[in-house]
């Protein structure tokens, strides 16, 4: 718990100390500021991969392939 804040207040964030460094943590997601976009990028990549898999399976079905090797 931070008793004496050193960083400027930021709406939606609380000040935390990680490994001796002060930074902000999002009060809604719990993510550290700067890491939030990385998490979103990873989620987008996962969704894109799922879309590719679904599209591939649809093509197999349309071509009558029932057992892909």
**Distance, CA of 48 to CA of 65 (rounded, Å):** 23
Q: Say if residue 3's pLDDT is above 70.
A: yes
The pair of structure tokens assigned to 26 is 């999002």
pLDDT tens profile 20-55? 999 999 998 888 988 766 667 778 888 999 999 999
Q: What is the mean pLDDT of residues 55-68?
A: 85
The pTM is what? 0.52
**Bridge pairing between strands 13-18 and 21-26:** antiparallel
**Per-residue confidence (pLDDT) for residue 51, from 0 to 100:** 93
The β-bridge partners of 23 are 16
């Amino acid at each position: 718990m931070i008793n004496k804040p050193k960083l400027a207040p930021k709406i939606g964030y609380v000040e935390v100390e990680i490994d001796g460094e002060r930074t902000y943590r999002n009060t809604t997601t719990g993510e550290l500021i700067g890491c939030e976009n990385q998490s979103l990028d990873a989620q987008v990549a996962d969704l894109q991969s799922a879309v590719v898999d679904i599209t591939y399976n649809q093509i197999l079905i349309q071509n009558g392939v029932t057992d892909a090797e």
